[in-house]
Amino acid sequence: MVVVGGITRLTNSGLSMVDWHLIVGAIPPTSDVEWQTTFEGYQNSPEFKELNSDYSLEDFKSIFWWEFIHRLLGRILGVVFLIPFVFFLVKGWLTKKLTLQLLLVFGLGAFQAFLGWFMVKSGLANEPRVSHYRLAAHLFTAFITCMVIFWICLSLLKDVGEKSKLNSFGKLISWFIVIVLVQIVYGAFVAGMHAGAVHNTWPLMDGQLIADSVWAINPTYLNFLEGKSGIQFIHRTLGIIVLIIAGVIYYQGIKHSFLKEQIQAIRWVLIGVLFQVVLGIFTLLFHVPIVLGVLHQAGALVVLAASVYLMHTTIYPAIPKSQ
C-alpha cells in the first residue's frame, strides 16, 4: 500500500479520480461510454485545465489506474481486517488488550482513508496540487499505522518477559524513532513541494554548503515549511543526523548488548539507514526518477520497522517458548 501510494504520487496520478464513492467507486469503468464519462469529469478539474489539457483518453487511463489501484487496496485492507476481526471477536478468541489494540488499528486505517480524501480534495478546488501538509499527514499516519501493526505482531509472534525499565539506551532509541518520523514528514514535504527538483548536487547545494535560496522567504521559518530549498536543506541535514545517531546506537548496542535478537535488530537499523542515505543521494542526483523515489519511500518504512523491532526487543526481551 505504501509503495503504490508512492507510485501514485510520483506519477502525478492522485487527482485523476475526481469523485469519491466508498462502495460504487470500487468498480472501474468497463465500457467506452463509462470511460468517456469519467474522463469528462476529469476534464472539469483544475489539473486538466491548467496542466494536462493536452491529455487524450489513453493518457488519462495511465494516471487513472494508479489512483484506482491505490483506493482499491485501501478497501481490500479494510475488508481483510474487518471480517476476521468480527469473527474472532464473536468467537471470544481475543483478549481485552488485543481487542483494544486492533480497534486502534482499525481507527487508524479509517482515519488514514479520511486523510486520503481530505488530501485529494485540496487539489480539486482551485489549484491543481494537493497541500503538502495534508500529504505529510497522510503519509505520517500510514507509517504510524504500520508501526502499531508491527508492534502488535511482534508481541504475538514471540513470548516476552516482563517489561524492562527504559534505560539510557532505550531512551536513545526513542529519540531516534522520533527523529526518523520527523524525517519522514520532511520527505513528504519534499514530495509535495517537488523540492527534489532543485539543488540536484551532493554534498553541496549547487556549490554552497547552504544555498542562498534557503533563506529566500520572509518570515524565515516559512523557508523550512513552504520553501523548496529550505525543506530540502532540512531533509538533507536530518539524513546526516539520523545516520550519526544510528552509528551511536550501533556502537553502544554492540558494546553492551548480550541478546542475539537485540544485536540483530541493531544491525538492521544501521544497514537500513546506510542504504537509505545512499538511496536518497542517488534519488536527488538523478532528479527523483520514479523507481528510486518509490524505493526511497519504502526504505524509510524499513528503517522505521527496524527501529520499532529494536525498541520492542529492548523493552520486552524474548524468553524461550514453552513446548
Q: Please report the pLDDT score of residue 124 as a whole number.
A: 80
pLDDT, mean of residues 225-251: 96
What does DSSP assign to residue 129? S
Cell triple for residue 131? 497541500
pLDDT: which is higher, 208 or 123: 208
* Interval 282-298: pLDDT, tens: 999 999 999 999 999 99
Taking a C-beta distance cutoff of 8 angstroms, is the pair 5, 77 a contact? Answer: no
* Interval 53-87: pLDDT, tens: 899 999 999 999 999 999 999 999 999 999 999 99
Cell triple for residue 278? 545512499
Q: Please report the pLDDT score of residue 256 as a whole number.
A: 80
Question: Residue 185: pLDDT band by 50, 70, 90 thresholds?
Answer: very high
Cell triple for residue 149? 501493526
**d(Cα 139, Cα 145) in Å, to the nearest integer?**
10
Taking a C-beta distance cutoff of 8 angstroms, is the pair 269, 303 a contact? Answer: yes
pLDDT: which is higher, 212 or 17: 212
